[in-house]
Amino acid sequence: MFSSVSFVGSNALADKLKAFGEYDDGEIRRSYCEKVVVSQVVPPPDSNSSGVLQYRDQLKAFDANLQPGFVSLEGYLMARLFVQALQTQGPDLTTESFIATLESLKDVNLSIGPTLTFDQNDHQASDKVWGTALNKSCAIVGLDAF
């Protein structure tokens, strides 16, 4: 088993492993993608949560040729959080006041499942992790598919 974290870029990892083809494990031929698990910090980009549906709609409106993905979904959600903090902050923006505003955000609902919360000691926003894996054809699937 091989494990990786979200910032590796699951699609890029799958593409690279798929290019290697297969190997002989002594018994059968196996895909290099088999037994690869990748943790994600956002839900799958094909999920039906209203926050992800909004992301896909806005991505398509921006450029119909772009494909939804974990990395762009994470960027989209963090941009929404950033905008919410700016709106909460108001016009008198300084680095210190913006940090204080971020640290005051509690239970921000971006409609992806868990709410996001900051405080002075925790800048993580969310502790939720979505598990994914690569199947033998190198497609990204939820761990519940196994």
Q: Are residues 49 and 113 in the same domain?
A: yes
Q: Are residues 66 and 104 in the same domain?
A: yes
Is a pLDDT exceeding 90 seen at residue 9?
Answer: no
- Cα separation of 87 and 3, whole Å? 38
Q: Where are the alpha helices (DSSP H) in the chain?
A: 10-20, 50-62, 70-89, 95-104
Give the SS3 label for residue 106.
Answer: coil
Q: Are residues 109 and 57 in the same domain?
A: yes
Q: Are residues 54 and 120 in the same domain?
A: yes
Other CB atoms closer than 10 Å to residue 33's CB: what's the count?
22
Euclidean distance between the first and final Cα of the chain, in Å?
14
CATH code of residue 109: 3.40.50.2300
Mean pLDDT of 45-51: 96
User: Total domain count for the chain?
Assistant: 2
The pLDDT tens digits of the residues spanning 50-103 come to: 999 999 999 999 999 999 999 999 999 999 999 999 999 989 999 999 999 999
| Residue 144 pLDDT | 75
Q: Are residues 53 and 122 in the same domain?
A: yes
Sequence-distant (≥ 6) Cβ neighbours of residue 55 within 8 angstroms: 45, 68, 73, 76, 77
- Cα separation of 64 and 50, whole Å? 19
- Supply the mean pLDDT for the chain: 92
Tokens representing residue 22 in the block: 């297969």
Task: Find the largest Cα–Cα distance for the chain.
Answer: 66
One-letter amino acid identity for 97?
Answer: S
- The residues that bridge with 116 in the sheet, in sequence order, are 108
Q: Whole domain around residue 108: which residue ranges?
A: 44-126
Q: Are residues 74 and 114 in the same domain?
A: yes
- Cα separation of 61 and 40, whole Å? 25
| 100 within 8 A of 93, measured Cβ to Cβ | no
